[in-house]
Chain A
Amino acid sequence: MPDFTLISAPPLAGYDRSFGDIQLIAPTDLAIVSIALPLGGEDAAKKAIKTAFGIALPEVGMSNVAKDKTSSIMRLAVDQAFVLFPSATPDAEPQIAAKLKGAAYTTDQTDGWCALQISGPGARRALERICPVDLHPNAFAVNAVARTVMEHMGAIVARTGEDTFLLLSASSSAKSFLHAVEVSAQNAT
């Protein structure tokens, strides 16, 4: 055995900063598991999701909180969704796989992404400079989700509250993504 151990640390965990009326927080222990609907088995998979989470698979571009409020499902494409839930242990995928009982393909995405929550009355003002998707309240409802690109980095933006957005981007470029959002927040104050 080597006399050292590796400690897993999410790239932005613990980050918490305010810029005027904009709050920027990195959620801790956010686990992400993708669900892919099997070709030809879509209906069975949707039924399994309904049974496992107590809610129907949301429409493409929407998300929803599970009935027991412990997780939320984002529908990102016709045959793909992400489940987000708090979990500090590295067993996110088996947890979801057990719930779906083999009706859909599940893949652990936790280590691939970094998360940032931006909130406050100025959140939209900061995002509109870097996000090409229209985030106006009339165009982007609460629970809406969009996979897009910000400052050349692929990103998912989800409206989780009236003035609250969850941003996901690649963990490998987490600090560049944080810098992009920070600079935009600074410019918007």
Chain B
Amino acid sequence: MIIDHPLLGPRDAAEFIYLGDAALIDRPDWQDEDAADKFYEYGYLRDNIAGKMQELWYHEQGDRSWLVVTRDTLTHEITDVEMARNVARARGRSK
């Protein structure tokens, strides 16, 4: 499998490590009223998607960047690769 890194171009999947659902970017606010419930969901509950899914991949044997990879879980087809830092900032993260 080849992952087309947005900065470095196509790279072999062996250079990457898979983490999981990109929803991990959306860390709940610890000061929320229902923070305990939200962190339970954040920590343990995942959608089991058959189709296009946004996933976090880490380019460990490369530039050490985190990526958000849109992959079809049925076909393994990768349709989009973004820098996770850009995705996080677009979702309102400051850093």
Contact = CB atoms under 8 A, between A and B. Distances in A.
Interface residues of B, number: 16
Contacts of B85: 78
Interface residues of A, number: 16
Contact of A149 (B8, B10, B61): B61
B64 interface: yes
Interface in B1-24: 7-12, 14-15
Contact of B61 (A60, A76, A77, A148): A148
B7 A61 contact: yes
Contacts of B64: 77, 80
B91 interface: no
A6 B65 CA distance: 38
B8 A132 contact: no
A25 to B, nearest CB: 25
A77 B65 contact: yes
B9 A148 contact: no
A94 interface: no
Interface string B38-65: 0000000000000000000000011111
Interface in B24-83: 61-65, 83
A47 to B, nearest CB: 21
B11 to A, nearest CB: 7
B9 A61 contact: yes
A146 interface: yes
Contacts of A154: 61
B12 A132 contact: yes
A78 B86 CA distance: 12
Nearest to A154: B61
Contacts of B83: 78
Contact of B8 (A39, A60, A80): A60
B27 to A, nearest CB: 18
B4 to A, nearest CB: 12
A147 B9 contact: no
Residue of A139, A148, A154 with highest tally of chain B CB at under 10 A: A148
Interface of A: 39, 60-61, 76-78, 80, 132-134, 139, 146-149, 154
Given A80-B63, A148-B62, A149-B15, 13 more contacts: A39-B95, A60-B7, A61-B7, A61-B9, A78-B65, A78-B83, A132-B15, A146-B62, A147-B61, A147-B62, A148-B12, A149-B14, A149-B61
12 contacts: A61-B7, A77-B63, A77-B65, A132-B12, A132-B14, A134-B10, A139-B9, A146-B8, A148-B12, A148-B62, A149-B14, A149-B61
